[in-house]
């Protein structure tokens, strides 16, 4: 084992680089899959939370919706108000005792991160939906669209654009927070680093490598999401789509430049 700091880092990378890559791959797989599932949960709950109730609705619909809203609210508050590490311990070790359900490591890890992400995304999506002008909802309903059609065709595409920064933020948080899954034996990047560091008692060197790897992963993901966000913005200028032969073909009205005859006087229009 080299005595200098840089030499020890090189030694660890030479001997354990495959372990670091496998741990990083597990971390990214859990984070990406769980973020996607969490977003689906969040969008579903966001739609449910924004279902309108009117005086003309029947009593059964009102009772059913209020019961659903109650359970949805409990889910959101519980999983936003408790640490993910506690949730991991409760689900992985508690479910076999209470419900007789024993989950393997991968399903348990994805379930834990997904439902945690879904609780945060639910409020983000609800806010994104409410941020869309009410006139668009009223217009969609006026032409005969149902609430579901209004959401899927009019509101959600715009709400998705508004929630992309939070989706990216949740992905970055999940990449880092997968380290808490080490308490249930998930061999992700943090768990792998602990094993490598304990082999030679090189904790500072090993976790320096891991810190750099976490930064690279989160930085790349944030850049990719920024690119996706800019693509959804579309071009800054649009041409008018028109078949009017009297209109300019690009949709922009321009006037011809004045021509000066040889005598120096300006032509009249």
For 60-82, what is the HEC assignment? HHHHHHHHHHHHHHHHHHHHHCC
Q: Categorize the per-residue pLDDT at 129 as very low, low, confident or very high, splitting at 50, 70 and 90.
A: confident
For residues 40 and 254, what is the distance between their CA atoms, to the nearest angstrom? 48
The pLDDT of 120-135, averaged and rounded, is: 84
More reliable by pLDDT, 147 or 248:
147
Angle CA(137)–CA(142)–CA(143) in degrees, nearest 5? Answer: 105
Retrieve residue 113's tokens.
Answer: 């991160």
Go through 47-70 and write b for each residue having 16 or more CB atoms within 10 A of its CB, e for each that does not.
bebbeeeeeeeeeeeeeebeeeee
The pLDDT of 114-123, averaged and rounded, is: 92
* Predicted local confidence at residue 268, as pLDDT: 47
Burial of residue 201 (CB within 10 Å: 0-12, 13-18, 19+) is exposed
For residues 167 and 120, what is the distance between their CA atoms, to the nearest angstrom? 10
For residues 73 and 68, what is the distance between their CA atoms, to the nearest angstrom? 8
Mean residue pLDDT of the chain comes to 83
* Predicted local confidence at residue 176, as pLDDT: 92
* Predicted local confidence at residue 255, as pLDDT: 46
For residues 182 and 88, what is the distance between their CA atoms, to the nearest angstrom? 10
H or E element at residue 14:
helix 5-49
Retrieve residue 121's tokens.
Answer: 């995304």
pTM value surpassing 0.75: yes
The pLDDT of 247-263, averaged and rounded, is: 51
For residues 99 and 82, what is the distance between their CA atoms, to the nearest angstrom? 21
Range from 19-23, 82-86, 229-233 carrying the lowest mean pLDDT: 229-233
Give 68-89 pLDDT, tens digit per residue.
999 999 999 999 999 999 999 9
Q: Categorize the per-residue pLDDT at 269 as very low, low, confident or very high, splitting at 50, 70 and 90.
A: very low
The pLDDT of 156-172, averaged and rounded, is: 85
Angle CA(32)–CA(211)–CA(89) in degrees, nearest 5? Answer: 55
Contact yes or no for 20/189 (Cβ under 8 A): yes
* Predicted local confidence at residue 111, as pLDDT: 93
Contact yes or no for 128/162 (Cβ under 8 A): yes
Backbone torsion region of residue 48, taken as left when φ is above 0, otherwise alpha when ψ lies between -120 and 50, otherwise beta: alpha
The pLDDT of 116-126, averaged and rounded, is: 89
* Strand spans (E) along the chain: none
Residue 173 has a CB neighbour count (10 Å cut-off) of: 18
For residues 59 and 66, what is the distance between their CA atoms, to the nearest angstrom? 11
- Which residue in this structure is represented by tokens 């008692």? 201
* Predicted local confidence at residue 117, as pLDDT: 93
């Amino acid at each position: 084992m080299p005595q200098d700091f840089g030499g020890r880092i090189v030694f660890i990378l030479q001997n354990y680089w495959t372990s670091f890559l496998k741990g990083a791959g597990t971390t990214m797989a859990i984070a990406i899959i769980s973020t996607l599932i969490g977003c689906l949960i969040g969008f579903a709950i966001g739609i449910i939370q924004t279902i309108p109730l009117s005086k003309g609705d029947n009593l059964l619909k009102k009772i059913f919706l209020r019961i659903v809203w109650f359970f949805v609210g409990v889910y959101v508050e519980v999983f936003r108000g408790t640490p993910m590490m506690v949730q991991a311990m409760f689900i992985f070790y508690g479910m076999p005792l209470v419900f007789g359900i024993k989950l393997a490591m991968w399903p348990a890890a994805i379930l834990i991160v997904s439902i945690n992400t879904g609780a945060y995304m639910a409020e983000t999506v609800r806010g994104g939906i409410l941020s869309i002008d009410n006139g668009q909802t009223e217009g969609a309903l006026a032409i005969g669209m149902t609430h579901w059609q209004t959401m899927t065709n009019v509101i959600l595409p715009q709400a998705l654009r508004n929630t992309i920064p939070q989706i990216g933020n949740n992905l970055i948080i999940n990449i880092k927070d997968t380290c808490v899954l080490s308490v249930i034996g998930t061999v992700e990047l943090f768990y792998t680093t602990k094993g490598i560091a304990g082999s030679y008692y090189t904790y500072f060197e090993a976790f320096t490598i891991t810190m750099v790897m976490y930064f690279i992963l989160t930085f790349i993901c944030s850049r990719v999401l920024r690119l996706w966000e800019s693509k959804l913005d579309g071009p800054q200028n649009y041409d008018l789509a028109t078949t009017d032969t009297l209109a300019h073909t690009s949709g922009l009205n321009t006037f011809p430049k004045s021509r000066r005859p040889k005598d120096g006087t300006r032509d009249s229009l």
